[in-house]
Chains A and B, each alone.
Chain A
Amino acid sequence: MKKLFKTAALLGCTVSGLALSAGWASAGEVTWWTPNFNEARARELVEKFQAANPDITINLEITTTDGLPQRILTALQSGAAPDVIDVQHGWVNGYAQNNLVVPLDEVLTDREDYIPAALDYVTWEDQLWGIPYRIETHAIIYNKGDLVAAGLDPENPPQTWEEFVAAAQAMTKDGKSGFAITGGGEVGNTIFRSLPFMWMAGGGIISEDGTEVLVNSPESVRAVTYYTDFLKNGISPSSTLENDGTANRRLFIAETVSMYQSGQFDVNSIRQENPNIDIGVMAIPHPEGADTAAILGGWSLVVPTDAKNPEEAKTFIAFLGEADSQAVLTDTFPARVSAMEAERFQDPILQVFKEMLPFGRPVPAHPRWVQISQAYFDGIQRILLGDEDVQTAMDGAADEIEALL
């Protein structure tokens, strides 16, 4: 019987359990949650900060990205939150709307030095709720050798949708797949890879102000058809429905996939695991006569409403927001233009990723965005399964989304 109660008590238990583990922090202490990939660089910055501010102690707590949104949310709602948290830009709006973080306008300096889309992301009701420090977009990573084998010029990759499909088709032979899309894993994987195509075509999932459903508009349907046809026409591997971004990278490393969408963080692991691949990077293809697009991703710093020492936390965030600090902390690109001049961002392979940044757009800020994107993703999976055609699946998604707006 106890087990049975457990199902119903799932929520209550987590909340009350966490409330018991509330921490004790004394004045002048700032607890900072940062993900494990930041650890080394974060320690370096903490040391630098403490040398200049001996009266503030920074307690670094390392988080892992798996299950991070849930962990942060429970901490924010339990009343026992840390003072500074690294979060993805897209999460900030939800926190702001639920009054879980504090506005940080007073902390931001040199507003004009930031990429505007990054600030838009963390703005709600004209206030700034996070300080963005890291930004990135996807591009297309390709195997130059496969392009050559298909009789194409690896230094002159395809630009438009039509050219790209033709190239991917030509590379699909001898057990290789020309271009891998995602259709599995966490919802975000497929949103990041398919929503830009909808934007390029003039569609989207919902309108930017969150009042209108666009997912079944002719423009969106055209883009979704373009995306899902990669599987239908056998260009994307048959495992597409179980592949997320990581699986696609593995298939690329195993040389069974010739092209896939990802960010610059994949380049190093490809180089390490299969040095034989000559990696190329191209912009995401665009429809004839339209610009390319991508989702702007990355990380911001927030101060929870329940932070024990919000003033010290703000001092620390101001330090992390300086161009020099941003150039150190980011795993990809800094959110400040002036920080981009640092040596580590000058690697030629980063060039295309850098060129994609101005085309990066924030995902729409809507309190029910997770459910909206889930409804859209379910539709994509119905298409990929062959259950429904594109128009039917997107009409179904539109009905679900309409109820959520």
Chain B
Amino acid sequence: MHRQSTGYLFVLPALLVLGLLIAYPVAYTGLLSVTDNQGNYVGVENFARILGARATPTAFVNTLWWVFGSIVFQVILGVLAAILLNQNFRGRAIVRSVTLIPWVVPGIVAATTWAWMLHTEFGIINYMLTAPGIVPEPVGWLTNGSTVLPVMIAINIWKMFPFVAIMVLAGLQSIPNDLYEAARIDGASFWEEVWYVMLPQVRPVIIAVTLLLVIWALNHITIIYAITRGGPANRTLITPIQIFRTAFESVQFNQAAALSVMFFAVAIVVVFVYIRTLASNAGEAR
């Protein structure tokens, strides 16, 4: 008994820091969500107001598209890149480092550069398309309602697939050689090796990485905010940006907190369901 309480004493500083950095802000956000800016209790008024805002459903739908579109392609592209980088070929080290570049570039730098590259009038992408006559007129990538969100998703895929590739590559390299040998003796082709040896072996990695990607996509701000600020006409507004705008542009901290609380709950459910279904299956498979 005595030893145990001494132990608690030793972890106390760490717990205090954690409490200050995590528990306090979360609790404070909860408190903000049910008060007005004078600190008076107002019940669910903030929740009702922010849910009634025209932008809220739009942002929610956009968030679904954003998360789903980003994750699917990030994972597929990342796994393919990892399999490629796992092969033996000349210059592999260089290709491996080059692949990492999008992930290493600071988000705000990448976003601003893309914004310029995509500009209708003086963007290099339209220049490259119009100069050889591939398209007759410059494309308004960021001004056309149907292209702007896909373009944002594409930039996010470009930014994050190297992360998936590196993590999966690390998993691939830990696969013992006997498995490949056994497969080859049974006459497996390359794609059968991929399907029956590589993917099952890196499955836990892919599941963990996907979880991280979901969380990052759910609280993403940089790329979209730097390029479009959620516009035009909320076509690229996702919930985290709506929270940011409500708090720091409109100065409605209480409504922003209410939206945060709801978004937090949704995110928790998504993550919980994901872990329960996929992660437990992975355990059985092993």
* A interface residues (Cβ-Cβ under 8 A, vs B): 1-13, 15-16, 69-70, 73, 94, 98, 183-187, 237-242, 247, 250-251, 254, 256, 368, 370-371, 374-375, 378, 381-382, 384-387, 396, 399-400, 403
Contact = CB atoms under 8 A, between A and B. Distances in A.
A13 B21 contact: yes
Interface in B47-85: 52-55
A33 to B, nearest CB: 18
A254 B21 CA distance: 49
B248 A12 contact: no
B7 to A, nearest CB: 24
Interface residues of B, number: 58
B72 to A, nearest CB: 20
Given A9-B26, A11-B260, A385-B232, A374 B250 contact: yes
Contact of B252 (A371, A381, A382, A384): A371
A382 B233 contact: yes
A254 B122 CA distance: 10
A351 B233 CA distance: 37
B63 to A, nearest CB: 12
B129 to A, nearest CB: 14
Given A4-B215, A237-B120, A396-B54, A12 B271 contact: no
A2 B219 CA distance: 12
Given A184-B143, A239-B120, A368-B252, 10 more contacts: A9-B29, A11-B29, A11-B256, A16-B24, A73-B248, A185-B229, A237-B120, A242-B232, A247-B119, A371-B252
Contacts of A7: 218-219, 240, 243, 260, 263-264, 267
Given A4-B215, A242-B120, A184 B260 contact: no
B24 A10 contact: no
Interface in B213-241: 215-216, 218-219, 228-229, 231-235, 240
A238 B26 contact: no
Interface of B: 20-22, 24-29, 32, 37, 52-55, 115, 119-122, 138, 140, 142-145, 212, 215-216, 218-219, 228-229, 231-235, 240, 243-245, 247-253, 256-257, 260-261, 263-264, 267-268, 271
B25 A370 contact: no
Most buried by A among B121, B212, B244, B250: B121
B22 A241 contact: no
A295 B167 CA distance: 54
Contact of A238 (B55, B120, B231): B120
A251 B122 CA distance: 9
Contacts of A247: 119
A241 B143 contact: yes
A10 B247 contact: yes
Nearest to B253: A11
Contacts of B232: 183-184, 241-242, 381, 384-385
Given A184-B231, A371-B250, A387-B233, A8 B26 contact: yes
Nearest to B263: A7
Given A4-B271, A70-B248, A400-B54, A12 B24 contact: yes
A256 B138 CA distance: 14
Contacts of B234: 378
Contacts of B53: 400
Contacts of A10: 25, 29, 243-244, 247, 260
16 contacts: A1-B271, A3-B215, A4-B264, A4-B267, A5-B25, A8-B261, A10-B25, A11-B32, A13-B21, A242-B119, A370-B250, A371-B252, A374-B250, A385-B145, A385-B233, A403-B52
A389 B61 CA distance: 24
Contacts of B253: 11
A239 B22 contact: no
B251 A13 contact: no
Nearest to A7: B219
A178 to B, nearest CB: 15
